[in-house]
């Protein structure tokens, strides 16, 4: 069983999750937000949402707070 973690849901993450679910190897999926085109086709019980970091990033970006959205380096 595998756990998958990715901050967003794109076509590649969706394909990975679908493939793991099809063979019964997906234990859980951790992500920030799932809305609209970022949705996944797995049981809700396997999805673990962590929206706070993404909400802070979006608000910081909107308010011009670069320290909240700056990428890590090193």
pTM, 2 dp: 0.75
Q: How far is CA 61 from CA 18, 19, 29, 58, in A?
A: 32, 34, 26, 5
Domain boundaries along the sequence of the chain: 2-69
Q: What is the pLDDT of residue 37?
A: 67
pLDDT above 70: residue 74: no
Lookup: tokens for 62: 């909107």
Q: What is the pLDDT of residue 1?
A: 93
What is the tens place of the pLDDT at every residue in 4-56? 999 888 899 999 999 999 999 999 999 988 876 678 889 999 999 998 988 88
Q: What is the pLDDT of residue 65?
A: 85
Q: What is the pLDDT of residue 2?
A: 96
Q: How far is CA 53 from CA 7, 25, 41, 68, in A?
A: 9, 27, 23, 9
């Amino acid at each position: 069983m595998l756990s998958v973690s990715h901050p967003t849901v794109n076509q590649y993450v969706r394909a990975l999750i679908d493939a793991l679910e099809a063979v019964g190897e997906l234990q859980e999926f951790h992500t920030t937000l799932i809305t609209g085109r970022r949705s996944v086709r797995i049981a809700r019980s396997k999805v673990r949402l962590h929206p706070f970091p993404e909400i802070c990033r979006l608000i910081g970006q909107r308010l011009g707070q670069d320290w909240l959205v700056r990428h890590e380096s090193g």
